[in-house]
Amino acid sequence: MKRIGLLTSGGDCQALNAAMRGVVKSMYNSGEQIEVYGFLNGYQGLIYGNYRMLDPSDFSGILTRGGTILGSSRTPFKTIREPDEKGLNKVEAMKHNYHKRNLDCLVILGGNGTHKTANLLREEGLNIVTLPKTIDNDLWGTDMTFGFQSAVDIATNVIDAIHTTADSHGRVFIVEVMGHKVGFLTLNAGLASGADIILIPEIPYDIDKVVEAINRRKERGASFTIIAVAEGAISKEDAKLSKKEYKKKLANREHPSVSYEVASEIEKRTGQEVRVTVPGHMQRGGSPCPYDRVFASRLGAEAGKLILKGEYGFMVGYRNREIVKVPLEEVAGKLKMLEPKASIIKEAKLLGISFGD
Ligand code: F6P
């Protein structure tokens, strides 16, 4: 008999349900008896003992369903050691709820912040197995996270649609793509949709170079320009600021996001009409794409295998086209960013895409 707890934490993404289904199906199919506790709304469920017993029927029909059947929330790692408003010690409460149910293992699906807490729980003696979710693909230790490819599809479709209207009106269009502090999503959606300029956090931009690229296109007879801007994109001047100075600047920014700042600079310098589109949380919504369904199912099945063998303290990830187990202490607290010298960037430049550098 194995007793497992499941929880999904942080911003949701596509294929969370497919991954949980993979874990549970692989365990049921092994013939082992299992009891599944679904903790609700991320770590909040574990802290306050809110859970639901799940049986095989709960995992039927959810392969294609977006979101998470367990709900999710953000529980910042920064304050995890601080007592809650009623004085409750959150870490001790999580340990208590784990031991009270006699769990063999807790399966945690999440991104960067989630992994810091997962590793802390491992250090506190709990058996943990994690799965890498996030549309940002910024998790250390895995080449790919589930949710990413589905978000690339959505952002690509948005830019595809913008292309036709940009063409009709001869406008400059900016599409702001999610991705937090990294540019994987923007780069891939930008490449897939034929964006002319791509601005990502890993390559700070020079607005004069952006304007040069727009003018070059105009001289060649193109009436419109499409710019994919990562929500975390940063100018060369801002990249020189200290973290504190940059935070202060963001707090006082007159524009709602970097895209509007870039748009206003371009309008000032070129006199061309610029429009901004922000697809936002649409990028995390809807059904997982086929790639993510397969990928999350595979990761889930491998996680089930690890639990049956009693191997704990790992994230099930993907490296060099292989499913691998990565020690949690290697994953926690590190951000995976795009390497500006990566061959994908060089190839994009060969295609004539400007990064504003
Ligand atoms: O980490 C996933 C993500 O969608 C980021 O791309 C984005 O910056 C952030 O979450 C948005 O967070 P929230 O849903 O809390 O607004």
Of 134, 146, 142, the residue nearest 316 (C-alpha): 142
Of 204, 219, 313, 319, the residue nearest 262 (C-alpha): 204
* pLDDT for the residue 159: 98
pLDDT 10s digits, 228-241 = 999 999 999 999 99
Position 139 in a domain? yes
In this structure, are 18 and 113 located in the same domain? yes
Residue 33 sits in a domain whose CATH number is 3.40.50.450
What is the atom index within ligand 1 of the atom nearest the CA of 284? 4
For CA atoms 142, 145, 149, 152, give the dihedral sign: negative
Position 355 in a domain? no
pLDDT 10s digits, 83-120 = 999 999 999 999 999 999 999 999 999 999 999 999 99
Position 342 in a domain? no
Å from CA of 164 to ligand 1 middle: 28
What is the atom index within ligand 1 of the atom nearest the CA of 178? 6
* pLDDT for the residue 34: 97
What is the atom index within ligand 1 of the atom nearest the CA of 136? 6
294 three-class SS: helix
Residue 259 sits in a domain whose CATH number is 3.40.50.460
Å from CA of 341 to ligand 1 middle: 26
Q: Show which of 247, 264, 284 is a domain's final residue.
A: 284
Range of the domain at 38: 2-147+288-331
In this structure, are 13 and 137 located in the same domain? yes
In this structure, are 236 and 156 located in the same domain? yes
In this structure, are 75 and 94 located in the same domain? yes
Position 102 in a domain? yes
Of 121, 40, 139, the residue nearest 81 (C-alpha): 121
In this structure, are 11 and 114 located in the same domain? yes
pLDDT 10s digits, 319-345 = 999 999 999 999 999 999 999 999 999
Pairing of strands 225-230, 2-8: unpaired
In this structure, are 23 and 140 located in the same domain? yes
* pLDDT for the residue 216: 96
Contact between 261 and 253 under an 8 Å Cβ cutoff? The reply is yes
Contact between 204 and 174 under an 8 Å Cβ cutoff? The reply is no
> Domain count of the chain?
2
Whole-model pTM: value is 0.97
Q: Is 235 left (phi over 0), alpha (psi -120 to 50) or beta?
A: beta
Token pair 């060099």 is found at 320
In this structure, are 143 and 153 located in the same domain? no
In this structure, are 103 and 128 located in the same domain? yes
Could you say which residues of the chain have pLDDT below 70?
none
pLDDT 10s digits, 168-182 = 999 999 999 999 999
In this structure, are 305 and 234 located in the same domain? no
| Residue 249: C-alpha distances to residues 243, 255, 258, 263 (Å) | 10, 11, 12, 18
Position 210 in a domain? yes
Contact between 210 and 357 under an 8 Å Cβ cutoff? The reply is no
R_g (Cα) of the chain, nearest Å: 22
Position 337 in a domain? no
Alpha-carbon span 72 to 291, nearest angstrom: 23
Ligand 1: residue whose CA is nearest its atom 10: 11
* pLDDT for the residue 113: 96
* pLDDT for the residue 104: 98
Spell out the residues 6+ positions from residue 194 whose beta carbon is closer than 8 angstroms to its own: 159, 163, 226
Position 357 in a domain? no
pLDDT 10s digits, 276-287 = 999 999 999 999
Token readout for 63 is 């392969």
Contact between 349 and 187 under an 8 Å Cβ cutoff? The reply is no
Å from CA of 11 to ligand 1 middle: 6
In this structure, are 168 and 95 located in the same domain? no
Buried/exposed code over 42-51 (b: 16+ C-beta within 10 A; e: otherwise) = bbbbbbbeeb
One-letter identity of residue 242? S
Pocket-forming residues, ligand 1, beta carbon under 6 Å: 11, 74, 111, 134-136, 178-180, 231, 284
82 three-class SS: coil
* pLDDT for the residue 193: 98
* pLDDT for the residue 72: 98
In this structure, are 54 and 41 located in the same domain? yes
Position 336 in a domain? no
What is the atom index within ligand 1 of the atom nearest the CA of 185? 6
In this structure, are 158 and 247 located in the same domain? yes
Q: Is 143 a catalytic residue?
A: no
Helix pair 112-123, 90-100: axis angle to 10 deg: 70
Ligand 1 pocket: which of 258, 284, 337 to mutate (most atoms <8 Å of CB)? 284
Ligand 1 pocket: which of 137, 146, 178, 278 to mutate (most atoms <8 Å of CB)? 178
Q: Which one is catalytic: 136, 138, 153, 292?
A: 136
